[in-house]
Structure 1
Amino acid sequence: MVRKLAGLVATLLATSFVIFAASYAAPGDPVTFLAGGKENLTPEHLAAIRAQYHLDDPFLVQYGRWLGDALTGDLGRSTQYHDQVADLMAARLPSTLGLVAYASVLFVVFGIALGVLAAVRGGRTDSAVVAGTTFATSVPAFVTATVLISLFGVQLGWFPVMGGGSLWHLTLPAVTLALGALAIISRVTRQSMIEQRELDHVSVARAGGLSERLIVVRHVFRGALGPIVTMCGLVTAGMLAGTVTVETAFGLNGIGSLLVNAINTHDFPVTQAVLLLMVTAYIAVTTAVELLHPLIDPRVRSRA
C-alpha cells in the first residue's frame, strides 16, 4: 500500500511538472498574453507584469510556487475571464460530471449486454455485434456528434442540440461520448465470457445438469466480472478528456469547452488547472479500480 501511494504521488508530481512546463513552452511571450494581448506596452508596464506573476524567478521556483498554491486550492486567476480559476471550474464541473455519469450508465448497461449476447448466442449474433462495435470504434466523436445533431436534433426535432444541463439536453452528447466506450466494453465482456466458458469448473457444472442460464450467471459472467469492471473503470477515467470534443460540438458549458477556450486564448492558468484536474481524476479512478479488483476477483487476491 505504501509503495502504491508513493507511486501515485510521484506520478502526480511528474504530471504536474510536465503540464506547467508545457504551458510555458508554448509559442509567444507569456507577458503579452498576461497583458491582454496589448501591443506597444511600456517597459515599466511589462516589468510590473513580470513582477506580479514572478516571471523573472527561476523556472523551478515558479513551478514550486504554482504547485504549492494548487495544493491549497489557489489555481490562479484567469487572464481571459478575470476571475478565479477555481470558481470557473466549480461552475462548469457539474455539467461535465453529469455528462460523464450519463454516458457511463449507457456504455456499461448496453456494452455489457451486447457482450453477453454475443458470447452466449454466438453465430450471426456474435458476428453482428463484433461488426457493429468495430464500426462504432472507427467513427470519430465529432462525426458521430454531427450525425446525431443533424438527424435527431434538426430533422426529427426529438432532442435539443445546443446548451442546457437537463437530462434531455445531455442525451445526444452522452450517446456520442458513450458510443466508442460501449464498443470497448462489449468486446471485453464478450472475450472474457468466452474464456470463462472454456474453463473446467464450467464444464463440470454443465455435466452436472445445471441449466445453461444458471451456468452463465453463476459461473461464466461472475468469473468474467473482474476484467469487465476494471475496463469500465479505466474507460470512465478517460472520459473526462473525451468531453472536450463533445462539449464543443454541442455547445455545453463544461470543463472540456473551458479547456478549448483557454488553449485558444492562451489562458495559461485555466489550461494548467483543467489539465491537472483531468490527470488527477484519471489517476484517482484507476487507483480505485486497482484496489477494488482483488475484492471482485479472489484469484487476484490469492496471487498478490
Structure 2
Amino acid sequence: MTFLRFALRRVAEMAATLLAASFVIFGALYLAPGNPASFLLSGRSASPEAMKAINEQYHLNDPFWEQYLRWLGQVVHGDFGRSIEYRTPVSTLLGSRLPSTLMLVAMALLLVVVIGLALGWIGAVRGGMTDSSILVTTTLAVGTPSFVAAVLLQGLFSVKLGWFPSSGSGTGFAGMLWHLTLPAIALALYLIGMLARVTRSTMLEAMGHEHVTVARSRGVPERQVIHRHVFRNTLGTVLTMGGLIVSTLLICTVLVETAFSVNGIGQLLDLSTTTKDFPVVQAVSLLIVGMFMTVNLVVDLLLPLVDPRVTLGTRGVSA
C-alpha cells in the first residue's frame, strides 16, 4: 500500500510538472519579440485581409489564457495542430518520424548499458594496465561530442570503408538497424564513457565496505562477492543515472539525426526551429519533456526495488 501511494504521488507530480512545462512551451511563442503572426508568415509580407485571416485561423486575437486552454484541450485529445511548413497535421508528422527516433535511442541506450557497465566492471575488478587502458579510452569518449563522433564515423566507416550508409533511416527493421548503427554509436559514445567511469568508481568504493571484507574473510568466492556484494550495490547509482542518460540521448538526437539525415523527430525539431514552424516545435518539445519525465518516473519506481536502502518518497539513503 505504501508503494501504491508513492507511485500515485509521483504520477500526480509528473502530471503537474508536465502541465507547467506545457504552459512554458506554449508561452514561448509570445515571449519572442514581435507579433506571433509575423512568425507564422515566416517573414513574408501579407495584406491586411491575409493577416486578419491568420489571426482568425490561429485565434491570435483571443486572450492568452483562452488560447492556451484551447491548445491544451486539443493536445489532450492528440491534436497538436497543423504544421505551417508541411501543411499537414503535426500528429501525422510525429507518427511518421517517431519510430526512427525511438529505434535510434533504443539502440544507443543498449550500447550505453551493455558496454558502459562491462567496461566499468572490468576496470574495477582487474585493475592494473587493463584499468588504465579503460580509463584512457573512456576519457577520450567523454571528451568527444556527439557531432564530432558523427563526422569521424561517417568519414571512416561510410566514406572510406563503405561499410555503413552515411545518411537516411532505412526501411524495415533490418534496414533501420543497418542505417542507424553509426548514428547510435555516435549518440552513445559520450555516455558509454561516463557510465563506465561511474560504474568503476562506485564498484571500487563498494569493495572497501565492511560487509565485502567480511564476506571475503568467510571464504566466499571472489566472483560471488563481486556479483552479490559489490555490483549489486552499484545498481542504485547506475539506475539513478537513467534519467540523465535518456535526457542526454533525447537532446543529442537533434545533432546526430541532422548529421546523418535521419528522418526522426530530432531532425524535425531542428528544421522546424529554423523555419519557425511553431506548432511542430511545441509538439516535439512537449513530447521530449513527456518522454524524459516518464523515464524519471520509472527510475523512481524501480529504485526502491533495486536498492533497499532507498526509502519510498525520497532518493536519499536511509540512515
What is the TM-score normalised by the length of structure 1?
0.94
The alpha carbon displacement at 1:60 in A equals 2.0
- Partner deviation per Cα, 1:251-302 (whole Å, 9 max, x = no partner): 1000000000100100000000000000011011111101110011111148
Aligned ranges 1:266-281 → 2 under 5 Å = 266-281=276-291
1:23 correspondence with 2:33: no
Aligned match for 1:229, one of 231, 236, 239: 239
Aligned-partner SS, 2:310? helix
Aligned match for 2:227, one of 209, 217, 232: 217
Aligned ranges 1:87-236 → 2 under 5 Å = 87-165=92-170, 166-236=176-246
Tell me, yes or no, if the aligned pair for 2:242 and 2:299 is still in contact at 8 Å.
Answer: no
- Partner deviation per Cα, 1:50-93 (whole Å, 9 max, x = no partner): 01111011222212211121111110000000000011001100
Partner of 1:51 in structure 2? Answer: 56
Aligned length, in residue pairs:
303
- Partner deviation per Cα, 1:198-253 (whole Å, 9 max, x = no partner): 11111111111122112111211112112112213431243122210000000100
Provide the rounded CA distance (Å) in 2 between the counterparts of 1:104 and 1:218: 24
Identity of aligned residues (%): 53
Provide the rounded CA distance (Å) in 2 between the counterparts of 1:28 and 1:95: 35
Tell me, yes or no, if the aligned pair for 1:238 and 1:282 is still in contact at 8 Å.
Answer: no
Tell me, yes or no, if the aligned pair for 1:163 and 1:252 is still in contact at 8 Å.
Answer: yes
Provide the rounded CA distance (Å) in 2 between the counterparts of 1:156 and 1:194: 40
Aligned-partner SS, 1:225? helix
1:263 correspondence with 2:273: yes
Tell me, yes or no, if the aligned pair for 2:242 and 2:296 is still in contact at 8 Å.
Answer: no
Partner of 2:3 in structure 1? Answer: none
The alpha carbon displacement at 1:128 in A equals 2.3
Partner of 1:299 in structure 2? Answer: 309
Tell me, yes or no, if the aligned pair for 2:80 and 2:90 is still in contact at 8 Å.
Answer: yes
Tell me, yes or no, if the aligned pair for 1:185 and 1:232 is still in contact at 8 Å.
Answer: no
Tell me, yes or no, if the aligned pair for 1:130 and 1:187 is still in contact at 8 Å.
Answer: yes
- Greater shift, 181-190 or 223-232, is seen at 223-232
Tell me, yes or no, if the aligned pair for 2:243 and 2:292 is still in contact at 8 Å.
Answer: no
Provide the rounded CA distance (Å) in 2 between the counterparts of 1:10 and 1:172: 38
Q: How large is the Cα RMSD of the aligned pairs? A: 1.7
1:78 correspondence with 2:91: no
Aligned-partner SS, 1:298? coil
The alpha carbon displacement at 1:170 in A equals 0.7
Letter in 1 for 2:294: A
Partner of 2:19 in structure 1? Answer: 13
Tell me, yes or no, if the aligned pair for 1:115 and 1:188 is still in contact at 8 Å.
Answer: yes
Letter in 1 for 2:14: L
In structure 2, runs of 5+ residues without a counterpart are 1-5, 171-175, 313-317
- Greater shift, 239-248 or 123-132, is seen at 123-132
Partner of 1:66 in structure 2? Answer: 71
Provide the rounded CA distance (Å) in 2 between the counterparts of 1:176 and 1:202: 37
- Greater shift, 147-156 or 293-302, is seen at 293-302
Provide the rounded CA distance (Å) in 1 between the counterparts of 2:27 and 2:89: 21
- Partner deviation per Cα, 1:109-153 (whole Å, 9 max, x = no partner): 000000001111123322222222222112121111001000111
In structure 1, runs of 5+ residues without a counterpart are none
Tell me, yes or no, if the aligned pair for 2:82 and 2:279 is still in contact at 8 Å.
Answer: yes
